Structure 1
């Protein structure tokens, strides 16, 4: 009975029914054997779902230059043994001045073999799906197959992950499996593995050093004090170094791009602190993070590891950071579900109360399935190619490989793997290209570019775009080519 997948709790529950300890052990080993492939099958199923969702959105021109286009340019640069430049951010713009994500260089070999934006979507789907496996294995050891299936399905279908998969590609996809591995090891008190798995997070994004610090602090509290404090100090120092030195060094204006605006002098410290808890959408976000776990996460100290991410989001002046949209909550999903499993493993919830909690979590997951992106896979429109998309593909095909192009946001994502692409609407945080691009293409149905002055000029019945002539216009999509001295 030295099977590592066999927990003491499982043996106690099974021997209490009257069987011998030996018989219970054999039965548990058989059960563990049957379960062994299940985490991989569940992860494989979610990989398929994730990839279908993101790939179909990309095929329907719903992905964007901000951000799939930018990250494709980054990984493409790495695959060419170059610094991570992104023309969408600006000419010769080194994106290590925007966010600190050198870990994306690990995707370069895959992109070099398959140079396409779809490669990033495949890698993202695989990374996120893999994170299901450690959580399911731990849940099985704690409470058996049914609990493990509930954890795997609820976590894999959670709204935070769905938002990440439906909104292009982001570097935090790499953080999701690292957090799953680290926190499952911490919950099992395998401190060395927990700390080591957390360390690469400092290479994923600059704020995640604070999450590393939180994991180190948790280890110092519950396990090896010296090692935990060392990792906590390392994580905090990494964030400070990245925000105060590295990012400003590479940023064109010489500072970290996302510092909040200075607070007016008349705003007191108490008012500033209160603003971190208002408006109510912030409380809704917290509720939505723990609700899929049936609120089990609230009974484990592991949930405190979410505080650094919540702190920077809720103190940010950007309203997009406060709610449940976009990809910002993806890194909180493995924290919440690891906390839920830890709650059960530590005996903080009785078997009688566990079932209602799981029912609540399942209901929340079921409801959010229909309010968040995964439900798109069951909609007929997801699988139908519209006439507008066919027209866009036809006009995009007229742009030769290797050309320089200024494109509207959604069309930019379709071009970045074969052309040098900039953003035609010139987002406020972007810089115009140093040389006029050879082609312009604009889609007036692209609602991601509000108040686009360049686009409005191109939409005119007789457009006057200096230096360019209208090459084609169909279904609201305008294609311009640059006029050369030769003609």
Structure 2
């Protein structure tokens, strides 16, 4: 990740040039540079279809979760209904802007008006992620050629970080992915003002992304526009500090910001200065999962991304993740690598441009990059698209929906984690067994056959005791079929 000087003017190059350099210098007109080739739209469309098919199929099989898809649907439903976002899944009338500052989610509301379903969020996410491939391919085509752009687009589109996000519900950081792709491609092309304009909306996506904006500003300053860079960096830093220290504590029901990941020890308690010092030094590379994640991030680029200063823009996200006391942040699962993939691939393109390889060398780099991306593919979510089990429907799904249909619209419900997203569009739902759930709901629906690795927050024994207690407190059993228990409060 060493800072390198910007490329010198092409007039200083030697007379003897590679095919790659000749191609790079044969720049098209401004009009043609701004156009997206038809095959790029086809590739982006294919990725959109793949992402959408996988996301919707996971939801149809009832493998999505209240944490997080249900929460985000409640947020979008709040915006669509014309009020500030709350989530019953977090706690009764919980103000979500006090949890994470993501007002960008209001942009999903128009689609939700047309399609009042969690599916609307999943389709929106698929569109955002698929769109992010376009600026990367346009830049790569302009400087490396069409074939290189196509290989990079495919490698990025099937990369494990994108796949992990697609396979795990919906998240607000999906909005950051195309913004980062546009900002970094502009930055790599020395369109510094455009880079700043694309970066600043990240402040509305999530509170930590202001630090990413700050680093983008520093790179802008280093590349030549010191004034614009300092303004951008200051805006990013001020935005994060304002949301972290003022907005979130003011809106959080507990009066404090609950997600100081870097202060929480692995056991969940504050470890003091010694623990903080450990996490900011040796703790950044231990345990091994952190190093593995970093290596896997760079592997699809054959580690060439390290040669680009654009990779510095990944530093804030890597630091908070690896300093976190939450082990889920360290690895390659979930959605936490979504924002890193456009940064890594933009750095890869920039490194190839700086390296100026011969045609044969460029082909080897691209072949290696594609090979790594496809070799990793079976380990992550997109591989489910070619698995027969993905397209088989468990008969229990129909049973679950037939029982959920008996719950009236607007009712208060406590439901199993996997059932919540099926109910968030029309009921006030919270997670069964979660301590902060709304007490005494009108309805309870529990999937008692959920596998142990997906069971949360109660284990099998705790769940049975809790259901018996509910019946003793006056809930009657409306149905008990194929592992689904539906209870209704009497009186």
The TM-score with structure 1 as length reference comes to 0.90
Instruction: Tell which has more relative contact order, 1 or 2 (C-alpha 8 A, sep 6+).
Output: 2
**Which of 474, 477, 481 is the matching residue for 2:488?**
481
**Which of 440, 445, 448 is the matching residue for 2:444?**
440
* Structure 2: runs of 5+ lacking an equivalent: 1-9, 265-269
The answer (yes or no) to whether the contact 1:172–1:330 under 8 Å persists in 2 is yes
CA distance in 1, matches of 2:290, 2:303: 17
Cα deviation for residue 290 of structure 1 reads 1.1
Equivalent residue runs for 1:64-83 within 5 Å: 64-83=65-84
The answer (yes or no) to whether the contact 1:299–1:348 under 8 Å persists in 2 is no
Equivalent residue runs for 1:90-101 within 5 Å: 90-101=91-102
The answer (yes or no) to whether the contact 1:220–1:226 under 8 Å persists in 2 is yes
> What is the aligned partner in structure 2 of residue 202 from structure 1?
203
For the structure 1 residues 232 and 337, does the alpha-carbon distance in structure 2 shift closer, same or farther, using more than 3 Å as the test?
same
Q: Deviations over 1:423-442 (max 9, x none)?
A: 11215xxx231x52110001
Cα deviation for residue 445 of structure 1 reads 2.5
> What is the aligned partner in structure 2 of residue 398 from structure 1?
406
> What is the aligned partner in structure 1 of residue 64 from structure 2?
63
Equivalent residue runs for 1:424-463 within 5 Å: 424-426=432-434, 431-433=436-438, 436-446=440-450, 447-452=454-459, 455-457=463-465
**Which of 450, 466, 470 is the matching residue for 2:473?**
466
> What is the aligned partner in structure 1 of residue 330 from structure 2?
322
For the structure 1 residues 76 and 352, does the alpha-carbon distance in structure 2 shift closer, same or farther, using more than 3 Å as the test?
same
Q: Does structure 1 residue 374 correspond to structure 2 residue 374?
A: no
> What is the aligned partner in structure 1 of residue 340 from structure 2?
332
Q: CA RMSD in A?
A: 2.7
For the structure 1 residues 91 and 198, does the alpha-carbon distance in structure 2 shift closer, same or farther, using more than 3 Å as the test?
same
For the structure 1 residues 184 and 69, does the alpha-carbon distance in structure 2 shift closer, same or farther, using more than 3 Å as the test?
same
The answer (yes or no) to whether the contact 2:88–2:437 under 8 Å persists in 1 is no
The answer (yes or no) to whether the contact 1:457–1:464 under 8 Å persists in 2 is no
CA distance in 1, matches of 2:80, 2:108: 8
For the structure 1 residues 467 and 377, does the alpha-carbon distance in structure 2 shift closer, same or farther, using more than 3 Å as the test?
same
CA distance in 2, matches of 1:161, 1:397: 34
> What is the aligned partner in structure 2 of residue 173 from structure 1?
174
For the structure 1 residues 478 and 291, does the alpha-carbon distance in structure 2 shift closer, same or farther, using more than 3 Å as the test?
same
For the structure 1 residues 399 and 268, does the alpha-carbon distance in structure 2 shift closer, same or farther, using more than 3 Å as the test?
closer
Q: Deviations over 1:123-143 (max 9, x none)?
A: 100011000100001110111
* Structure 1: runs of 5+ lacking an equivalent: 1-6
Cα deviation for residue 357 of structure 1 reads 2.3
> What is the aligned partner in structure 2 of residue 4 from structure 1?
none
Cα deviation for residue 465 of structure 1 reads 4.4
CA distance in 2, matches of 1:379, 1:36: 32
> What is the aligned partner in structure 2 of residue 362 from structure 1?
370
For the structure 1 residues 197 and 456, does the alpha-carbon distance in structure 2 shift closer, same or farther, using more than 3 Å as the test?
same
SS of the equivalent of 1:400 reads: coil
SS of the equivalent of 1:54 reads: helix
Cα deviation for residue 348 of structure 1 reads 5.3
For the structure 1 residues 402 and 267, does the alpha-carbon distance in structure 2 shift closer, same or farther, using more than 3 Å as the test?
closer
Cα deviation for residue 356 of structure 1 reads 2.6
CA distance in 2, matches of 1:411, 1:16: 56
The answer (yes or no) to whether the contact 1:100–1:247 under 8 Å persists in 2 is yes
CA distance in 2, matches of 1:342, 1:33: 19
The answer (yes or no) to whether the contact 1:444–1:459 under 8 Å persists in 2 is no
The answer (yes or no) to whether the contact 1:407–1:421 under 8 Å persists in 2 is yes
SS of the equivalent of 1:253 reads: coil
Cα deviation for residue 351 of structure 1 reads 4.0
Q: Deviations over 1:194-252 (max 9, x none)?
A: 00000000110010000000100100111201110111011011111111111111111
CA distance in 1, matches of 2:20, 2:434: 68
Q: In the comparison of the two structures, how many residue pairs are matched?
A: 465
> What is the aligned partner in structure 1 of residue 4 from structure 2?
none
SS of the equivalent of 2:361 reads: helix
Cα deviation for residue 299 of structure 1 reads 1.1
For the structure 1 residues 268 and 296, does the alpha-carbon distance in structure 2 shift closer, same or farther, using more than 3 Å as the test?
closer
Q: Does structure 1 residue 311 correspond to structure 2 residue 319?
A: yes
The answer (yes or no) to whether the contact 2:415–2:445 under 8 Å persists in 1 is yes
Q: Deviations over 1:61-98 (max 9, x none)?
A: 00111111000000000011101011111111110111
> What is the aligned partner in structure 1 of residue 87 from structure 2?
86
The answer (yes or no) to whether the contact 2:20–2:356 under 8 Å persists in 1 is no
Q: Does structure 1 residue 222 correspond to structure 2 residue 223?
A: yes
CA distance in 2, matches of 1:294, 1:477: 49
Q: Deviations over 1:425-473 (max 9, x none)?
A: 215xxx231x52110001123323143576222566x973413111101
SS of the equivalent of 1:41 reads: helix
Cα deviation for residue 360 of structure 1 reads 2.2
> What is the aligned partner in structure 2 of residue 291 from structure 1?
299
Equivalent residue runs for 1:129-144 within 5 Å: 129-144=130-145
CA distance in 2, matches of 1:445, 1:280: 34
